[in-house]
Amino acid sequence: MYSIRREESDGGDPEEPRPTGPLYVPVRLGSLGGRQLCFMRTPLGVRTAVGFTSGEQLAAVLGAGQQWIRLAEPVLRELAEPLGVLMLTVDPQLTAPGPARPATAGPRVPLCARRRSSGELEASQPLAERAEERTSEWELSTASSEQ
């Protein structure tokens, strides 16, 4: 395991170990269906981007069910830097367990789903369509209140 800060990566020691090729980077499913980088914390609490040199190492540390994408080190840095993450840790050996998920009695409901008055789940519409509907509803309600 080694960590590389942004300042060290530009003119660092040529003897320092560097990742070769794309890294296996842990991701999670975002609320709109895209992938989001998973950041972790060092033992001192500093946020760090994480990459693994092999899929086997990622699975050994984070579990076989962990989703991942392959990114080159410079690309991972460019994605993490605007979020204030300036450190990259390659091949961490230990991670703390994630928060315990509450047990659910029924099927898992997506965050963007809502229940109708009948109790039936309604699939969410794309954001643009919902915005148009709400604007139309607002226009109707303001028009009826003006009368």
Beta pairing partners, 74: none
Kind of pairing, strands 39-41 and 35-37? Answer: unpaired
Reported in sequence order, the residue ranges of 6-123 that DSSP labels E, i.e. its strands, are 23-29, 35-37, 39-41, 47-51, 68-71, 87-90, 114-115, 121-122
124-137 tens-digit pLDDT: 555 555 556 655 56
Q: Check residue 48 and give its pLDDT.
A: 94
51-70 tens-digit pLDDT: 999 999 999 999 999 999 99
Answer yes or no: are the C-beta atoms of 35 and 27 closer than 8 Å: yes
Q: Check residue 23 and give its pLDDT.
A: 95
DSSP 125: P
84-131 tens-digit pLDDT: 999 999 999 876 665 666 666 565 555 555 555 665 655 555 555 555
How is the chain split into domains, by residue range? 2-90, 114-146
